[in-house]
Structure 1
């Protein structure tokens, strides 16, 4: 795979590791695209292209699905988006450093579905835990492994 072809897309609306992504993309000379709704403020000084989409639900996801190609990397915490990207041969990682794998998607999506059912029934469900420094470090290490592997290092 040619170095200049690979793109890193970030589902950027609530991504807590934008600085880390920017640093590693610069280090590995990868094209970086932040995709966010116009309702969110994103710092374009990270050497990234900023794509602004409508604030309707799933607009950023649709942009990413329609523009990424086999071998690209996507940073997202959205299990549904990950489930759409993996069959396309896209590398998907969460901001906490979890590498999404096709064999895990059925369980992840089922758990997400159960949570939706509980919330619709009026039950409270726990949201994601606050991101910790260990999570950021895990993301940095795993993201760098992906980029170095794609670089052939």
Structure 2
């Protein structure tokens, strides 16, 4: 067993429309992870030394760019934004949707294709509804997925 402290795990939250911020704080606190909440406007966060709020400009994709530039192997990114998820997966980050669905190297291509298809159908007027409402089942799945992602990163850091 090494006496070297493994690098801190950081969770980046694409916060403007994220329904699971409170769950992120709770799980991160249990695991000793840092949380960075990134938004285009002021957002209230708990006053904890391990939680940081970053407010970026209101320029299109400013929050996505900020997160993608910092994502890497010791990070978890929480986002429903598929293009951002793709950028972060390519950077080596663990990426979770608020529903708990992981974005991985093997799933991101299909997620991008589905997103593009749905956008085309919406633009053509074929699809008028949005995503299904966020449910307690989604919240529970997210909690489990975030817990597993943090445990995996901790094991990997200790084994390195």
1:150 has 2:150 as partner: no
Which secondary structure state, in structure 2, belongs to the residue aligned with residue 45 of structure 1?
Answer: coil
How far residue 3 of structure 1 moved from its aligned partner, in angstroms, is 4.3
**1:85 corresponds to which residue?**
88
Partner of 1:122: 125
TM-score by length of 1: 0.90
How many residues are treated as equivalent by the alignment?
151
- For the residues of structure 2 that align with 1:20 and 1:9, how far apart are their CA atoms? 13
Query: Equivalents in 2 of 1:110, 1:131: separation in Å?
Result: 22
Find the partner of 1:34 among 37, 49, 60: 37
Give the alignment's TM-score, normalised by structure 2: 0.86
What does residue 140 of structure 1 align with? 143
Tell me the residue number matched to 1:15.
18
Cα distance, 1:121 vs structure 2: 2.3
What CA deviation, in whole Å up to 9, does each residue of 1:99-153 have, x standing for no partner? 1111111211111111222222233343111111111011001100111222229
Task: Provide the C-alpha distance between the structure 1 equivalents of 2:75 and 2:113, rounded to a whole number of angstroms.
Answer: 26
RMSD (CA atoms) = 1.9
1:110 corresponds in structure 2 to: 113
| Uncovered stretches (5+) of structure 2, i.e. residues with no partner | none
Structure with larger Rg:
2
Indicate if the aligned counterparts of 1:69 and 1:89 stay in contact, CA closer than 8 A.
yes
Matched, 1:51 2:54: yes
Asked whether the equivalents of residues 7 and 74 of structure 2 are also in contact (C-alpha less than 8 Å), the reply is no
